[in-house]
């Protein structure tokens, strides 16, 4: 039997109207989303479905919205997804992966990512940061540019190691700008500033760690029914204690997506990869990281219906 690896997207995949078709077509999705609204005590789904976009782009709303979309897809798939041998996510998506693995309930997870978003936004307000995506340059060259650009108290780091030729840099705005220029000089095809509220996955997020650790300690964690590949270490997590610890580390550690995808592929050879949630960004990244990988993205009601009828 072919093994299954579940992928869960992170920030950047959100858009107004997300998951509306799932709620309209599938009672399981509608009930799952309603439960998350009740857990948060505010109508998250109203912002997901109708906006305004400015509200959806707030990181304390974006994070629960993307997790909610993944949870809705998972609820519709039910037993039809079959046994899952491994799960992984991108940044925020790691929380969705822990839902898939049975470590967190959807309601505990959505409350945690709401708190995570609030803490990250506060860290960004206290020390404003910036992020830029670098395309067409290998990660080692990007990291070197960041190191050379970190001067005069300003810091830039390679934060999201998304693909062999795609890395996101993060840090103080001046240092990120210098690193972007250095990457262009080194041959990068493109450097794109990102619309973010802070320097995510960099040391600038350290002030958020204590509050997140407290929230994680108070949440109910269960032992995983399948391993989750943790972003911070690009290795499988088999215990709830390690899950808690690594989710705190993840705030300031780079998202080691290339190594994580390769670790998942080594753990579950010849797997089918199923992306659940908005968009298909991770499908494209996995195909770059694991040549020959077969990836199916399930984000819309039509996607899910095709999968269920296949």
Residues 212 and 79 in one domain: yes
pLDDT tens, position by position, 191-237 = 999 988 899 999 999 999 999 999 999 999 999 999 999 999 999 99
Residues 148 and 23 in one domain: no
Listed as own residue / partner, the contacts of 204-207 with beta carbons closer than 8 Å and 24 or more positions apart are 204/123, 204/124, 204/127, 204/129, 204/155, 204/170, 204/171, 204/172, 205/120, 205/123, 205/251, 205/252, 206/123, 206/251, 206/252, 207/119, 207/122, 207/123, 207/126, 207/127
Residues 278 and 248 in one domain: yes
Is the pLDDT at 65 greater than 90? The verdict is yes
Which is higher by pLDDT, 196 or 286? Answer: 286
Give Cα 238 distance to the centre of its chain.
Answer: 19
Residues 24 and 112 in one domain: yes
pLDDT at 232: 97
Q: Which of 139, 160, 195 is the last residue of a domain?
A: 195
Q: Which of 142, 173, 195 is the last residue of a domain?
A: 195
Structure tokens at 32: 């799952």
Residues 138 and 90 in one domain: no
pLDDT at 41: 96
Is the pLDDT at 1 greater than 90? The verdict is no
> Of all residues in the chain, what percent are helix, strand and coil, respectively (each to 5)?
55, 15, 30
The whole-angstrom separation of Cα 55 and Cα 65 is 11
**pLDDT band for position 61 (cuts 50, 70, 90):** very high
Domain that holds residue 104: 4-124+204-309
pLDDT tens, position by position, 124-179 = 999 999 999 999 999 999 999 999 999 989 999 999 999 999 999 999 999 999 99
Give me the chain's average pLDDT, please: 97
Per-residue pLDDT averaged across 105-115, rounded?
98
Residues 57 and 147 in one domain: no
Per-residue pLDDT averaged across 36-57, rounded?
96
Structure tokens at 244: 């808690």
Q: Which of 195, 212, 243 is the last residue of a domain?
A: 195
pLDDT tens, position by position, 244-282 = 999 999 999 999 999 999 999 999 999 999 999 999 999
Q: What is the CATH number of the domain that holds 183?
A: 3.30.70.250
Q: What is the CATH number of the domain that holds 222?
A: 3.40.366.10
Give the H or E element holding residue 131. Answer: strand 130-135
pLDDT at 205: 98
Is the pLDDT at 91 greater than 90? The verdict is yes
User: 286 by DSSP, 3-state: which?
Assistant: helix
Residues 303 and 234 in one domain: yes
Is the pLDDT at 2 greater than 90? The verdict is no
Is the pLDDT at 298 greater than 90? The verdict is yes
Per-residue pLDDT averaged across 50-64, rounded?
95
pTM: 0.97
The whole-angstrom separation of Cα 104 and Cα 221 is 6
Residues 19 and 70 in one domain: yes
Residues 51 and 100 in one domain: yes
Q: Number of folded domains in the chain?
A: 2
Residues 222 and 95 in one domain: yes
- Positions annotated as catalytic residues are 91, 201
Residues 185 and 224 in one domain: no
Residues 153 and 30 in one domain: no
């Amino acid at each position: 039997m072919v093994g299954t690896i579940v992928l869960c997207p992170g920030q950047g995949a959100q858009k107004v109207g997300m998951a509306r078709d799932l709620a309209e077509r599938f009672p399981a999705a509608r009930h799952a989303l309603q439960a998350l609204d009740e857990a948060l005590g505010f109508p998250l789904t109203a912002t997901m479905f109708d906006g305004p976009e400015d509200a959806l782009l707030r990181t304390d709303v974006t994070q629960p919205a993307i997790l909610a979309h993944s949870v809705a897809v998972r609820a519709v798939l039910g037993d039809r997804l079959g046994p899952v041998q491994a799960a992984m996510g991108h940044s925020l998506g790691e929380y969705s992966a822990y839902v898939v693995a049975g470590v967190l309930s959807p309601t505990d997870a959505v409350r945690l990512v709401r708190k995570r978003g609030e803490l990250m936004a506060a860290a960004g307000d206290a020390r404003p940061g910036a992020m830029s995506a670098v395309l067409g340059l290998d990660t080692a060259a990007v990291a070197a540019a960041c190191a050379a650009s970190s001067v005069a108290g300003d810091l830039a780091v390679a934060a999201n190691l998304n693909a062999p030729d795609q890395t996101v840099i993060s840090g103080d705005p001046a240092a990120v700008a210098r690193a972007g220029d250095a990457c262009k000089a080194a041959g990068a095809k493109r450097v794109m500033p990102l619309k973010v509220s802070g320097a995510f996955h960099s040391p600038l997020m350290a002030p958020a760690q204590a509050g997140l650790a407290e929230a994680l300690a108070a949440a109910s964690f269960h032992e995983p029914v399948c391993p989750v590949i943790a972003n911070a270490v690009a290795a499988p997590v088999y215990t709830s204690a390690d899950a808690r610890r690594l989710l705190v580390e993840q705030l300031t550690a780079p998202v080691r997506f290339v190594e994580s995808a390769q670790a998942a592929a080594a753990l579950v050879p010849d797997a089918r990869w199923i992306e659940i949630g908005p968009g298909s960004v991770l499908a494209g990244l996995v195909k770059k990281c694991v040549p020959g990988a077969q990836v199916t993205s399930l984000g819309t009601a039509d996607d899910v219906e095709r999968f269920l009828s296949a």
